[in-house]
Amino acid sequence: MREITESAIQAVSSKALTLRQDIIRMLGEAGSGHTGGSLSSADIIACLYFWEMNIDPMQPRSAERDRFVLSKGHAAPLLYAALAERGYFPKSELLRLRKLGSPLQGHPDMRKVAGVDASTGSLGQGVSWAVGMALAAKIDGLDFRVYTLLGDGEIEEGLVWEAVMAAHHYKLDNLVAFLDHNRLQIDGPICEVMSPEPVADKFRAFGWETLSVDGHDHRQIMEALNKARTIAGRPTIIIADTVKGKGCSFMENKVEWHGSAPNKEQTSQALAELGCYE
């Protein structure tokens, strides 16, 4: 259980803003990449990396550390921004996103970046990794926790539900999954392309502790994380209602911003909206 103080919330909010600014800078420089889904998860990641998780950038491979698996691997810019801000590598590296020879690959590569716990990018596979890691903790009697982040389009993959079933079967109460419920995938709104709804009922039916939060409200996210620590014998899903592209008015709820990066002008405009004038 971690204490939810005003100052903790304040600190996490300011980190979330920094992450959003870094995402825009990185993607603007890279000229390609996934903007919308990186911005929509920024508040969740800020809570995990700057409040919840038991991690130490000086010991990125410690056996006791908490693990995070970015199952929606295309939000790599967000993960990299959090790791750099947390001190795993210099922030100057961020501007080499997606460049030849950079450790910051288009999708996370655990062999290239300290702090990346799983190589992801093919949707649906990360949550299986997370289940495996949580199982390893049980086998070894270690009390680290495992966190993962899924997209709401991603859960259309059958593999997700195989993993969800296994997590319940093995009573993995050391596993917490977030669902970034921004209601968009690439070809359009999830409800028009291939509806996974009602998502809460599905997770409940699979035996998971099912919590719902506003995915941009840090206090609610923190409270849900604390609640998850009290649940014994089963995993927890935190369904986070989010806005894809959150923080940049012209990107919000726009399906086109799934896989495109801002040009120079758009980068300046987005940064201005995020409070930076460069």
* CA distance linking residue 236 with residue 31, whole number of Å: 37
* CA distance linking residue 60 with residue 166, whole number of Å: 27
Q: Which amino acid does the sequence have at 79? A: L
* CA distance linking residue 20 with residue 26, whole number of Å: 10
- Cβ 32 to another protein, closest distance in Å? 5
**Among residues 28, 124, 151, 247, the one that binds Mg ion under rule CB under 5 A:** 151
Tell me how far CA of residue 126 lies from CA of 21, 92, 212, 237, in angstroms: 26, 28, 21, 15
Site map 82..121 versus ligand TPP, x via CB under 6 A: ---------------------------------------x
Three-class secondary structure of residue 159 per DSSP: helix
248, 270 Cβ separation under 8 angstroms: yes
Q: What are the tokens at 148?
A: 């993962």
Q: CB-based burial of residue 138 (10 Å sphere; 0-12 exposed, 13-18 middle, 19+ buried)?
A: middle
Nearer to another protein (CB atom), residue 104 or residue 270: 104
**Among residues 36, 108, 124, 153, the one that binds Mg ion under rule CB under 5 A:** 153
**Among residues 22, 152, 157, 209, the one that binds Mg ion under rule CB under 5 A:** 152
Would the CA dihedral through 250, 256, 260, 263 be positive or negative? negative
Tell me which residue of 130, 128, 239 sits closest to 175, measured CA to CA: 130
**Using CB under 8 A as the criterion, which residues of the chain lie in contact with another protein when the complex forms?**
30-33, 73, 98-102, 104-107, 109, 119-124, 153-154, 156-158, 185-187, 190, 193-194, 196
Q: What are the phi and psi torsion angles at 18 (to 5°)?
A: -60, -45
Work out whether 184 is an interface residue with ligand TPP (CB under 6 A). Answer: yes
Which range in 7-15, 130-138, 184-192, 223-231 contacts Mg ion by CB under 5 A?
Answer: 184-192
- Cβ 96 to another protein, closest distance in Å? 10
172, 232 Cβ separation under 8 angstroms: no
Which range in 45-53, 179-187, 195-203, 229-237 contacts Mg ion by CB under 5 A?
Answer: 179-187
Site map 27..56 versus ligand TPP, x via CB under 6 A: ---------xx--x----------------
Work out whether 153 is an interface residue with ligand TPP (CB under 6 A). Answer: yes
> Under the rule (CB under 5 A), what is the footprint of Mg ion?
151-153, 182, 184
> Under the rule (CB under 6 A), what is the footprint of ligand TPP?
36-37, 40, 72, 74, 121-124, 151-154, 180, 182, 184-186, 244, 258
